[in-house]
Amino acid sequence: MRRRVIDGRFELGERLGGGGMGLVWRAWDTALHRDVALKEVRPPDPAMDEHDPALARELRARVLREARALARLNHPHVVTIHHIVDEGEDAYPWLVMELVTGGSLQDRLARGPMPPSEAARLGREVLSALRAAHAVGIQHRDVKPANVLLRSDGRSVLTDFGIAAVRESSSLTATGSFIGSPEYMAPERINGHEGDPASDLWSLGMMLYVAVEGRHPLRRATTLATLAAVLNQAVPAPERAGTLGPVLLALLTRDPAARPDPATLD
C-alpha cells in the first residue's frame, strides 16, 4: 500500500496517538533517513473552519508562533522540533519532532507507582522544561503522565505543548468538550482564569502525586464530579511519598500565589 507523504519528504507510518489538538504519527524522513514523529495539528472542534474562520486563522497563527518558540528552546527535557510544515492559511501545520521510543510516564505507571526519589528526579526534569517554556511566554496547560515521554536512557521529555495555542477563557470548545485533562487541571483554570504559570505547577504536583501514590486523589466517576472535587475537596495527604509529601501538598494548594516559586520548588 502506498504511504501518504507530507511535504514531499515525510512518509507516514503507524499512528502513535492523539489528543485534543491533533494526531501523532511515526514517519520516515526520506531526506535524512531517520524516523521522526509527525504531529498533525487539528482544532478540537472539527467545524471551527466553517463556523468561525477568524478563530481558525488565529489558532493556526498561534500554533505556528508557539512551535517556532519551542523550536528555539533546544532544551534536553522539551521534545525537539526539527521542522514545521506550513501549507498555508487554508491548512493546519504539521510539526516534525524527535521520535521518543521509551513510552510515556503513563505506560511506566501502569506497571506500578514510582519510589519518591525517582519521582522527584523526574519532577525536576519536567520542572526545568516548564521553566524554559515559561521564560519564552509559553504555558503547557496539559501536564499529565501521557505527555511525559521517556527516552531509552530513562530521561524524561515533555511534549504536546499544542494545547497552549488555545486560550479560550472557559477552557471549553464550541462543542462543549474540554481542552485539557480535568483531573490534572488547576482549579483556577477550571474557573476560567488563565495566564498564570503556577497553574502548570499544580498539574506537575498532581502528576507526581499519582506517580508515587498509584492513584488519583480527586478522580471521580464522571468528568463533572471530578471537576467538582478539584474545585472543592481537600487533597488527602499522600501515604507513600515520604519526604516528597510536603512538596506535593505545597503544590496542590488552591491559591496559585501560595504555591512555591519554581526556584524554591527545584
Distances (CA, A) of 153 to 22, 44, 103, 198, 243: 28, 34, 12, 29, 26
User: For residue 240, how many other CB atoms are within 10 A of its CB?
Assistant: 17
- Concatenated DSSP letters for 135-183? HTT---S--SGGGEEE-TTS-EEE--GGGGG---TTSB-TTS-BSS-GG
Residue 35 is among the residues annotated as catalytic for this protein: no
CA dihedral sign, ordered 105, 118, 220, 225: negative
Query: Are residues 179 and 173 in contact, defined by beta-carbon separation less than 8 angstroms?
Result: yes
Task: Map residue 194 onto helix, strand or coil.
Answer: coil
C-alpha dihedral sign at 188, 194, 197, 203: positive
Among residues 45, 142, 160, 200, the one annotated as catalytic is: 142
Quote the CA–CA distance of 62 and 202 in Å, as a whole number: 24
Residues 6 or more apart whose CB falls under 8 angstroms from that of 253 comprise: 259
* Closest alpha carbon to 183 in 217, 157, 140, 158: 217
Count of Cβ atoms closer than 10 Å to residue 79 Cβ: 22
The set of residues, in sequence order, having a beta carbon less than 8 Å from that of 69 and lying 6+ positions away, is 136, 137, 138
Angle CA 251–256–257, to nearest 5: 105
List, by residue number, the catalytic residues: 142
